[in-house]
Structure 1
């Protein structure tokens, strides 16, 4: 079978002999001590002398025996049997140095999405079973000239030489791994469908080092996780600048939260039947001191990776709810939450606390949940949603169609609305297949009595088609860019949707919102 010798290599004869002799010598020393206790001094001395002579002879005959045992234990991961990080680095540099003149060396780096959710939901034994499954998969797919390793946690690496069509070869290998690791696996009494983030990098030439190769693969892995589609991703030099941006965001994120420097942006939501403004989806914007204006798509994935996504969302909620207290009671606020927030068992209590502090009515709040969040921990997501629904908070399934869409997911939780992924809406113009998919989703919503909303509306032709097929609501660039707090107040005053406010003089913020 192709693949790396992933299990610990069997001990050599010398190592086995050395271990057995050491055990026997220890036993004889114990016998000598017992003889001394019984007053058999001369006999004990003979036994000790024999042991010393035997051990000296063994050391002379097999000088590396004990070292081999220690080396074996020091070079392999005890759980999976794959090489550990230290052994991987040493073997990798040797491979790079040995291939300078004729080939490059590639590294495939992978880790398991939401591995902590598995251990948190099913226990550490299930986590170990998943790690063993990944190791077996690597072992089964890896070519014979590859070196496989487990670094730590759920991080694995596969190093192999590249020559000829080597790039295509490793791409095919990565695709096979992605497919196999996306299959359901039995973890004790539970079944789980894992998904791996996979990155690939290559290196070669004078001065190349294994550390450079691992760094490039790490950068590609971060980008692969942010992309979130499970497809292998090659390292690109532009990822270096992306990492510099990421580091700058991490360095300043906490102080930005403390100063309310991340402020809400309001994306209008329109009833397609009447043209009436019904509410806003709330995202964020941050004027970073060095990077300039950042939207949510740029800083929120970084906030999620460093555990601050929940703090960002709750800060935006507080600011937006405070601003909306004197809006017309018909207007709602919708908040898209990230996957990691639905791993927080206290999420519902935190949201309810914000509602109470801001004096914002629960029935005017909608929480958006993606299918990824459902997959991460359905039981916990259900518990959170039940707590929110009991307070009168609405629930929307966000970005429907982007990943794991099925009727079962629509029935898993008591959704009030479904929002179609913007990639489908943005691509409807001139694309009959996407239009047919959107039409089918709208019909499904009608059958389930679920209003369907379109995200990412860009043009009047798509708007007309959405109205024709019966889509209930829409939002997107067609109605203008998301508004800041001052722009929202101007718009609402013009539309007489501020409590106790008269319409001011001045330009309407967006002509398409003038109705």
Structure 2
């Protein structure tokens, strides 16, 4: 503005002085007339120079301001937009949702806020690289945006988390259901990149500004996002690739889950997690052949907690390895004085098999305790085979080379192929209890169990049947050939002291040790344990 003012002032001055002086200058230069006053001539020439300088400075400043304005606009866009997906970010997303909520307030429409999280995105990144991971994020973001109505708002608020808001008629909640169902279908379509194909699913939680849980309509965008996040977490707990609307009990469940997580973190160094032992019986002779180690949490607050409750949490917070090593160390100490004919089976989490040093850690525990590797059996589930076959093969081979036996646990539930059974040096197949329990009914359980037993014979692999709960199941299994069984028919899992007393009674101890002074705790969470929960292990 100052530069423009100088230029305009120079123009006015030039008009005022040059109007009378310029004709005299022209006559003097071209017609030999009387020259004007030298001082006035210099003033006019300086005025012309000032006019040129002022105008050029104005143009330069105008261009500079334009560039600065564009830079500020770009900076604002970068501050409000996610550079990878182009959607709003954590800073601008919630205000945009709040603006939409405010706009809808007082009308017959509500806002539905959706929290969207990619399932197992870390695994996609780890197995395929970050370049493909970015491609997955951009593709999923585009598919989500394409699913939203024109008034919808979308923001990326985390590495693999998106939040969306859409308006809907308060009486037409089913339209939100249809939109979200379509979104789940579209996002799960394969993503192709560099001759690779990835299928990414999403879990979605939904919270509405109206409805019976809206606290009288006093729900801002942040509160809705929090509720949608709780509902999304609930969807993940129920199997992923699905959606749930927020309900108040979900918040109570999440709060309890956080309390359990804190209890696990404190309980591991405090020694609250202890091994229990389930008998494994030769079905033909009835002779005890070994034990499988199960985990129990003897919590001062919750009592004896089933692994069905705490194992998934320990896996999610990546403490399963530390917990398992502590339990295995204690189990090896308990078992090294058992009769040499008895084996110890330990179930390994798929997360532990992602650790390239797992085999070395386990061998160190065996050396530390002096327990013979040939008496130890590691159980891995079929789920492990689908995560990283190369890493599993390397670890299994290392363990086999040291004399440790490997069994495939819960066989029949994870779609193992014959090529996988042949490529990995398994020593045993374990039939999942869900098939064994059907032997007492009229289902197809008997045919499935017979098929697995025949497969074991064909591959020269011994078979163990889990879930032997009654004499009817036992009789049918005995008619299928030699195998080992375990289940409540032979007694519930017992702690180390009770197991030692059992072995002492049948003369299967090398030495007698006094029973431990402490007894197992009992409490509200122990009552939640079921037959299936006793099958879940920590080791």
TM-score of Structure 1 vs Structure 2, range by shorter chain: 0.7 to 0.9
Shift of 1:393: 1.5
Change in Cα spacing, 1:294 to 1:409, as seen in structure 2 (3 Å) is same
Query: How is 1:356-395 mapped onto 2 (pairs within 5 angstroms)?
Result: 356-395=367-406
Q: TM-score if structure 1 supplies the norm length?
A: 0.78
Task: Say whether 1:50 aligns with 2:59.
Answer: yes
**Residues in 1 aligned to 2:313 and 2:297: alpha-carbon distance in whole angstroms:** 13
Cα pair 1:77 1:83 within 8 Å, conserved: yes
Q: Deviations over 1:92-123 (max 9, x none)?
A: 33344444553554444343344333333332
Residue 318 of structure 1 is matched in structure 2 by 329
Change in Cα spacing, 1:323 to 1:248, as seen in structure 2 (3 Å) is same
Residue 7 of structure 2 is matched in structure 1 by none
Deviates more, 1:281-290 or 1:485-494: 281-290
* 3-state SS of 1:153 partner: coil
Change in Cα spacing, 1:221 to 1:367, as seen in structure 2 (3 Å) is farther
**Residues in 2 aligned to 1:70 and 1:169: alpha-carbon distance in whole angstroms:** 38
How many aligned residue pairs are there?
461
* 3-state SS of 2:323 partner: helix
Cα pair 1:322 1:358 within 8 Å, conserved: yes
Q: Deviations over 1:428-451 (max 9, x none)?
A: 543513443333333333333333
Change in Cα spacing, 1:53 to 1:83, as seen in structure 2 (3 Å) is closer
Shift of 1:170: 4.8
Shift of 1:175: 5.0
Query: How is 1:356-505 mapped onto 2 (pairs within 5 angstroms)?
Result: 356-470=367-481, 472-501=483-512
Shift of 1:190: 4.5
- Max radius of gyration: which structure? 2
**Residues in 2 aligned to 1:178 and 1:469: alpha-carbon distance in whole angstroms:** 45
**Residues in 2 aligned to 1:454 and 1:115: alpha-carbon distance in whole angstroms:** 35
Change in Cα spacing, 1:497 to 1:211, as seen in structure 2 (3 Å) is farther
Deviates more, 1:424-433 or 1:297-306: 424-433
**Counterpart pick for 2:302 among 279, 291, 298:** 291
Structural RMSD (CA): 3.5
Q: TM-score if structure 2 supplies the norm length?
A: 0.75
Task: Say whether 1:155 aligns with 2:154.
Answer: no
Task: Say whether 1:94 aligns with 2:116.
Answer: no
**Residues in 2 aligned to 1:263 and 1:354: alpha-carbon distance in whole angstroms:** 16
Change in Cα spacing, 1:433 to 1:498, as seen in structure 2 (3 Å) is same
Residue 238 of structure 1 is matched in structure 2 by 249
**Counterpart pick for 1:188 among 194, 197, 219:** 194
Cα pair 2:117 2:160 within 8 Å, conserved: yes
Change in Cα spacing, 1:242 to 1:331, as seen in structure 2 (3 Å) is farther
**Residues in 1 aligned to 2:353 and 2:58: alpha-carbon distance in whole angstroms:** 68
Cα pair 2:438 2:444 within 8 Å, conserved: no
Change in Cα spacing, 1:49 to 1:92, as seen in structure 2 (3 Å) is closer
Query: How is 1:123-162 mapped onto 2 (pairs within 5 angstroms)?
Result: 123-144=129-150, 146-162=152-168
Query: How is 1:20-59 mapped onto 2 (pairs within 5 angstroms)?
Result: 46-53=55-62
Residue 339 of structure 1 is matched in structure 2 by 350
Change in Cα spacing, 1:160 to 1:53, as seen in structure 2 (3 Å) is closer
Q: Deviations over 1:458-514 (max 9, x none)?
A: 333333333344582332333332111111111111222212459x9xxxxxxxxxx
Residue 82 of structure 1 is matched in structure 2 by 87
Cα pair 1:272 1:473 within 8 Å, conserved: yes
Cα pair 1:334 1:368 within 8 Å, conserved: yes
Change in Cα spacing, 1:173 to 1:484, as seen in structure 2 (3 Å) is farther
Residue 330 of structure 1 is matched in structure 2 by 341
**Counterpart pick for 2:77 among 72, 97, 120:** 72
Residue 527 of structure 2 is matched in structure 1 by none
Cα pair 2:114 2:225 within 8 Å, conserved: no
* 3-state SS of 1:152 partner: coil
Q: Deviations over 1:64-114 (max 9, x none)?
A: 866654443333322122332333322333344444553554444343344
**Residues in 2 aligned to 1:105 and 1:455: alpha-carbon distance in whole angstroms:** 50
Deviates more, 1:482-491 or 1:272-281: 272-281
| Structure 1 unaligned spans of 5+ | 1-39, 505-515
Cα pair 1:454 1:471 within 8 Å, conserved: no
Task: Say whether 1:257 aligns with 2:262.
Answer: no
**Counterpart pick for 1:304 among 300, 315, 333:** 315
Q: Deviations over 1:393-416 (max 9, x none)?
A: 122222333344433443452222
Deviates more, 1:183-192 or 1:116-125: 183-192
**Residues in 1 aligned to 2:276 and 2:383: alpha-carbon distance in whole angstroms:** 24
* 3-state SS of 1:465 partner: helix
* 3-state SS of 1:432 partner: coil
Residue 15 of structure 2 is matched in structure 1 by none
